[in-house]
Structure 1
Amino acid sequence: MLNHIKIEALDDFFKELGHRKTKGVYFYRINGYNGEIDRFIRAYYEAARKSGVIIEGRIPNPDEKNLAYYSEMMGMDFQMSPGFITSSLKKWLPRMNDNQLHTVADSIYDCLDSLRRAGKNENMLKNAYIKFMCWLYYKFERIVSRLGDNDVPKILYEADISNYELMLLSILSNAGCDVILLQYHGDGNYLKLDPGSETSDELRLQGMTAFPEDYSLKKVQNDIREELNNQRLYGTLPELVNCTNAWIKGKNVLDDIRTPTAMRGNDPRFFYNCFCRINGVDDKLTYVNDLYRMNTELANSRRKVIIVDGEIPAPSVEEIGAIRRQNAYQRQDQMLMDLAGNIVSSAGGEVQALIRKAFLDLMLEEAKKPEMNINKLTGKAVHMLCWLKRYTPHLFSNWKKTDIGCFIHFGPCRAGNEAAFLRMLGRLPVDVLILVPNQNEKCVLTDPLLYEQNCIGSLNVQRFPKAAADLQVGTSAYYAERELDTLMYQDSGIYRNQQYAKANAVTLKTMYEEIPILWKEEVKYRPNFGTTDGIVSIPVIFSKISGVKNRDLDKYWNTVKELVKEEGFLITKVPYIQPMAPNPMKAFAPEFFRNGKLQRDRIKNHRNYVYGFLREDMQEHILDKLQLLIDQKVIKGTFENGMEYTIIATVLNLSKEMIRVLQKFDFTKKNPKLIYINTGENMISLEDSIVAAFLNMVGFDIVFFVPTGYQSVEKYYSKHIFEEHQIGEYVYDLQIPDLRQPPTKTGSWRDIFKRG
């Protein structure tokens, strides 16, 4: 029988019996957690898996089949004597040697004797004995023949232990077995069984906290399996390791980027790179020139440099098609193994291993995000591979171990894929520099390796000065005026002309009587107007007015005339766009829409594109809302029978008058208007409905006057996107008067609000 001894370090558990300071075994319980304990449990789990027993949850009591087999083999006799127990064990567990038999038998006898002294009767002792025998056979048979060996078997138990289980583990421990009890809920339950901690010792280490809520041996097993899969994924690991930013001075990142690689460090195990972001500018007068000078110096030093302005262009259809992959994957490791095969570098095996490791590190980290699934992860991986194939051939052309390329991203990262790609590059022999001179712009990239230099000034620069022709430097007076603009127009309620380039329309739910009041107001005075992160929320009217109030036609037409006074579009001929009207964009619409996305460059470069003279931000606004109109499936049949192509062709073929109104549309002032009158039975066309829905999203106020109450624009909408006002009795066959003439004195909308 072996004594219980105390450890000096956790590694003592893995020493052979003959190499332990004192010949004995360890029986410990773990009630807390830290990183060291996590690593120990993993190692102990592996040892127990190979040459021991792992118990997840309590040991189940012997069932009827277990007891029937025991009865058949051993009978149901019981004697309270070491000799009887020894002979029974020899028959029941024949692989045990004599020393093991006597040790286990003596331990069982001692346990039963303690139960007898505690007042248990003969029948209870017999039941306990049979339970021990069944547990030894069904749960611990693989280790009983190895008890007391030099390679000490391990037991790992996970649960709040019961009295009989503790007795059995004590029996096995005494016979030559190490035991660990994992107690996620603390020591309270155990101390009820063993108040003096005579059977086991509590493990106490510095920095221990409660176990994480999701901690379990099943999780440990999954983590170990994942690590093994990852080892298979990574293959041969690179020899070099990144030393990122540890060597930089940090006072001026541009100077750090310029630093020759030979002056960064000389440890052959590392490559020395930067991963930095500069927010704002130090000196507005010299900023652009400083960048130009740095780029010139990098070029003169023959470093490989890539500069991206604004955002990294999304992978093209051709680039995506060049990535070898299966149509679908069932398992994450299968997907990553397959896609990583696309990483082939002409620069040699070391670069290829570095890229593969950086790619897999990133993907495995992304996979842990709660919103991630295998399809999303596959899409992200394909994105990363497309960009790697696009940029790494230049960055690592004729690469040597002392070479460090440079990737400059001018402007903030606005998308997750872009940020992920830069994080991956930051682990390669590449200096990654993100420049955000305009402090009003936010960069979504975060990374523990990223070093940030924050400057006081802010400057609106659209592109990196790659050539002398790009150098445009403002005077002190110019920048002073820009700062004054910031003070006047930032969160002040005062807005500069065309201050904002992006906007979202918010349709107001109004009373019928509110329409003429809101109609004349600038949008900034309407409820729910606001600006957030450079995007304007435009409250707009989108209403259908059915019927004629009190059948008073003069008053009805006067109300229309009041609205027509405001500059806008008046449509009285139904339909406005004939279904069979020629449309030069219709034949090309399928080219403009691929994989659910507008092909913006293809649209803008097409010979029939007529919006090219508009402000660039307005062109983007139009295309943004066209994409939104398709994405939201407002028009019935979108993504069925090519309806999306009809939407694209219709929106890209607006009249010249509408285009001009869009050009001068200022998102903080009066918005454009559309009044559509339908007094007869002619149906509004699909194209009219598309234009109305699109103009609503762009920011127009729109009112349909339908005195007949007939179904009109809603026929083609898949959802209710406007407010309908039933104001009176339906009237038919009305003739539309000259609405450009001033209202008559018989009454108008104003009469509702005049004093009595």
Structure 2
Amino acid sequence: MNQLFGSPGKNKEGEATEISNGNRTVLKQSNNIFKDILSPLQERGTKYDVYFYRIIGCDDETEYLTRITSLHQELKLTDNYILFDNSIPVSTDLSVIERLRQLFKPVPLKDFSNGALANLLDSQGYFSLSSNSELNRWIRNAFDTIFNLYIANEFEINLSMAVNFGTKLLLWFGDYGKKILKKSPYNPKVIYWGSPKKHEVYYLILMSLIGCDVLVLNTTFRDELEFVDKNNEYSMLIKYSKDLPIRSFPEKAKKEVREKDLPKAIKKEPELPVDQQKPRDLINLNDPIVIVKLKRTETIFQEMLVPLKMRSGYIGHPYPILPTYFVRYIGIPVSSDDWEAEYYNSLYDLDRSLQLLGNYLKFIDGIPAPSADENSSIPSGFSSYPFKDRSEVIEQILRAEILPQFNNELFDNTIKKTFVEIVDLFAEKIKNANLSIVSNFSLKIVTWLNRYVVQLFPKASLSQNPDHNPKILFHGQIKAHEVFLLYAFHRLGCDVLFVHSEKEGDKTFQIFDKDNELTHLIQNSHNLALESFPTEERYIRKSTIAYNASKEIEEVIYGEDVGLFKPWQFENYGTQPITLKTTFDELKILWREPAKLRPEFKIQNKKVYVPNLFAKINGVSEDLNSYWQDLRNLSSAPNTKLVSGLPFTNVNYTKQELYQASYLLTDQGLLNEAKVIMSKHYKFNHLRAPLQHFLIGKINELIGSDLFVTAVDDKFKLKMIMTMLTMDDEILKLIEVFDFPQEIPKIVIYDHKKQSFSESDGIILAYFNRIGLDILVLTPTSYKTIDQYIKPCFFDLFQLPQVKFDLDMPSLADIPGASSQKPGLLSRFFHLR
């Protein structure tokens, strides 16, 4: 363990007693990585130096493979080396996987990036690999860095995706992290041959952070690392000119497979004259098999539980015909007010029912890749055998007899024919599937079939006519290879149900079965972000007949075009401000009118068009009492905030925090909603979800507007974002009470000093205007105030006769009321008094 971190001192157990104060090793540059990676720790520049290089593409393939073969042999001599060939196998121990998922279950998404998750794992002992607490803390910090990096890089992420990532990371660390943590003059070496997938990239970075040299050898230009390590902060890049397919990892330079190297199962037979050659297909078309017919239904949750014998079209022994289901259940049906709870309860109930039937497999967000032990069951010659075409791949696998066998002719024939069908279908459906890709896929399917078919079809059940065929339930994100395995299960006689709550979740099947001929698609009307598979029933409420009748009546009465509105009927809508140009007298008349009674109000395309007011009044009236009475009347309207001290906003962020907020911006310069919700400055969590979405959307509207006198550069965008994210609660409450068609919240600002508005004040007022609030600025001095920040073309300017300096505002309670009240808007129109 101590050699991993290159510690100079040891305790009595030989463990590290001194480590770096940072949470990462130092990435070292090399002029000859194939040589320098072999250097022992004592020859490094510092004891914390590591190499992490990714070599993309290839120039001279023969020379390249020779160098890699030589390096591979030398690294094996260090006895502190691990090779990942095209993938990092993950544990398939379901008990361990479930234990980890339960650990993540109560963790909210935000805890993945704020250090809380790493603290939780630390408290559970996942980083306690040594009695040295500093050493363990270094490993904990490395995990924290990876979690932060993952969350920061993901544009759209949900809790299920984060839990899947965290689970996989810990499984890999448990399998491989400890294997190479041993005493040695050399720090651990890791080679990844091929193009690592996204989660594998994060794990390789983690291995580097805890002290491993890492070398990614990828002859193709498919480099997932460039999307994860965007600034080459964690790895160095060497890129060659040619993009070559990834071949099997070379064991010897210019290795050629000879007959003596082949396992008996795939040795070539002597070439026979054409008229005496055996057919390459080892399955006779007339061999008896189980016939499977795709059965369609719109009520799969119920029909899946119907016994085979009760399904129309079923025929039993000796030559079975099985009507079975392969259904893609996409989106969520809306059957009641609690449709989300009903959906998850129906999944929970189906899962419980299928467990009682037995012969049932459930996959959540993926099927574990073949393990090292499973891969070792494949004859070694397959990985380097020079297959000529797809038919030879299939033939040699069948000759090797590595598919599941049951000593049941009918079922063994069905397995073989299903395998042939799946490989042919894969080659047909997947574009650019070269022979190497087909070969690797074929062997992967072989290992998966060996893993699962025995579970689904106990040998005892093959001699009987079981009431229920095996069941497969797949929930969540699915990859192309997994789709083909599900189809293989279906062709063997299983009912298969794929479930995803979003339309986007069906993308993989669109390639596999564009015309819905191989599967049956149930496309529901609503989408919902994917959540974890339910482990308990949810509380649900059912509507009565009277309640449903009442809702139908409301839909008629409270339509957009009727003019009668329920409270908060449009909280899921957006707003489009229509700032009115008025006279001073009109402003005073319209000031107290609700939005729905103002000119230009309308509701259209999920948006409420709000006629709002934005005006500045310079100077004062000749009759000062009249001026104060106007101020009193305007500031006493409902939901009005009167401000007499400027600036009225506080800067609640530091300069460092301002620049750190740049990660919240997308490449288009707008606010990333998923990231801002997890920001430590985000203070809207307590608000209704639609209002939170509305507030963030309005920030982006403001960023894209041209209200400001100042040019909206990146720095000003950050000021806008931080000003609005840290606004005072009293200001925020003005927005919270805004029911769009009703009373419009207002802010009245009395500004009588030379030093008045701040930049933050201007930003907040512009934000209010984009939302649709009323704004009135009274400036007795006639100085330039708000017009220093917001272009004057966006508000009305009224000039009163006199100018006053240092005119303090009296107490509103002391201002006498007006002798007569001016008629309202409707009164003027209809000549009412």
Normalising by structure 1, we get a TM-score of: 0.45
Q: Give the structure with higher Rg (CA).
A: 1
Normalising by structure 2, we get a TM-score of: 0.42
